[in-house]
Structure 1
Amino acid sequence: MQATTVLVEGESDRLAVEMLARRRGHDLNAEHVSVVPMGGATSIVRFLERYGPAGADHRLLGLCDERESHGIARALCRAGIGSGPLDELGFHVCHADLEDELIRSLGIDAVLNVIDGQGELASFRLLQRQPSQREQPVPAQLRRFFGGRSGNKIRYAPLLVAALPVGQAPEPLARLVESFAGES
């Protein structure tokens, strides 16, 4: 069975992918699937050399932010994986980032419930009152909350995925996890 390596930008993405995979009944070890955080999309060349056709020759899948998609596409082409729409190459693109996708899929109230469940709703409300945040839409404030404090993205990614109603995962994340089945 060919190993599958899923390349993601960071640790929070890894945790989100693994959480949704578990929720959907995947046993990543048994399916020979590894989710590998690259420490940023600009590191993809090194990971393609290691896991791609010129390296371990794993089946490659991935998740990236839209602003990184052109660089990812160029790197995949140079590595001999192919060209064309990223999703056809197994790489799925989040509009802004995964947190944005999760906020839209869950809805603001559900995200606030997750934050409240962690005892941090007062901290979020304090952020909302900051002059630089007052005029921002709530989804932007939530993204700032998750990205502004060290470790928050990592802490909240699996919690947000766990809070998703069945069948309501963000499309890029859902398509990525669906692609694990039957081809590894």
Structure 2
Amino acid sequence: MAVSALLPSDRLRADGEDDDHVRLLADLDAPLPPILVHRSTMRVIDGMHRLRGAQLRGKKEVDVEFFDGEPEDAFALAVKLNVAHGLPLSLADRTAAATRIVASRPQWSDRRIAANTGLAASTVSAIRRRSTTQGEQSNTRMGRDGRIRPLHATEGRLRASQIIAAHPDASLREIAQRAGIATATAKDVRDRIRLGQDPVAPR
């Protein structure tokens, strides 16, 4: 891929790329991993230091791999990759990234964002509470496994009871998926309804 065709990454580092690290990569004779690029924007997701190192060496082309997805998913991936390897992101950079992800992906759980940014889940929770978009956030969270779960168990059980009433022949898996609850919880709700009990278990 032509170096001139690539755009710089979303600004992950407040201070920009580290010049010493760029020179270190430029001096290496060994081949470096491909640069990860967001296909639709041609913006670098991971590998800005490698790209600048190649430019410093006067290279006109670099090896790339493409990522297909939304820009905000590309940003989240960039943060995750830069936390996992290469020159680490500073605490301030990771906190800023988490703030952006909370705003752009409010349905993601605190643990999922924490895993992406290298922060504690409690830190992400505090960021979420301070977020100006708090009032617009949904009542569900998407976990690291990709499953959507309600923030409050009561809401999930009530949603499941409504689904069962509207679709009495629905499978437990379907009820659980649509209500954002575990299959075992969906079974408990259905059993309680059949017994004429409140779908919300007493505490």
Q: TM-score, normalised by structure 1?
A: 0.28
Report which of the two structures shows the higher radius of gyration computed on alpha carbons: 2
Q: TM-score, normalised by structure 2?
A: 0.26
Q: Comparing both chains, which one has the higher relative contact order based on Cα–Cα distances under 8 Å and sequence gaps of 6 or more? A: 1
